[in-house]
Amino acid sequence: MPIMRDGGFQQDQWSRVEVEAPIVGRVITPLAKLEALWGQLAVSAEAIGVDVPNDADLALLDPYLDQVALISVAFPSFADGRGFSLARRLRARGYRGVLRASGKLVADQYAYARACGFDEVEVDPAIAARQPEAQWIAMGGSLSVTYQKGYDGAQNILEARRSAKLAAE
């Protein structure tokens, strides 16, 4: 699957593992299997990532936040926005690694995903066929001002209005 970053589509450097098998390279394991595989992963993997459902209890991740290199948050539907909230909460908990949105996001949601703290989006192949790389790139810079305060710290519309009012007084 293509990975969308600010520069465009890239090839995924990570592979998913769910069973105990020879583990090599950068691997992503489901949150439910992380604890069971942790010792094996820590010894043999180049880097460890974890797949997280969008309704996950983040307390389960707390012991690993400074050790996993990538957290992939599931978006089972483009209409299910719980992953955006999860991303903001992960960043607020201090997670500094790569944060990936995975699943059914569409290009129109890319700028908001970035504002919520995601570094990249794993684009479903069917969506990538309908929405080519150029569309994702164009949408990445489509939000100049937002109503919500984003992870990126940019001023939202309410703050801009307050600043303008104070400057006028």
- What is the predicted pLDDT for the residue at 4? 92
Q: What is the 3-state secondary structure (H, E, C) of 39-51?
A: HHHHHHCCEEEEE
Q: Contact at 8 Å (CB) between 68 and 48? A: yes
Print pLDDT tens along the chain (169 aa). Answer: 899 998 899 999 998 876 666 667 888 888 888 888 777 777 767 888 999 999 998 998 998 998 899 999 999 988 888 999 999 999 999 999 999 999 999 999 998 898 888 999 999 999 999 999 998 988 876 566 666 665 556 677 778 788 888 888 8
* Of the candidates 144, 147, 76, 88, the residue with the CA atom closest to the CA atom of residue 113: 88
- Report the CATH superfamily, name and number, of domain 2-144: Aldolase class I (3.20.20.70)
d(CA 33, CA 58): 15
- Strand, coil or helix: what is 115? helix
* Cα distances (Å, whole numbers) of residue 16 to 25, 41, 47: 10, 12, 12
Residue 107's CB is within 10 A of a number of other CB atoms, namely 23
Q: Contact at 8 Å (CB) between 15 and 25? A: yes
* Cα distances (Å, whole numbers) of residue 17 to 51, 154, 165: 10, 37, 54
- What is the predicted pLDDT for the residue at 101? 96
- What is the predicted pLDDT for the residue at 47? 85
Q: Which residues lie closer than 8 Å to 111 by C-beta, 6 or more apart?
A: 139, 140, 141, 142, 143
d(CA 50, CA 130): 28
> What are 103's two structure tokens?
């699943």
From the centroid of its chain, how far is CA 150?
14
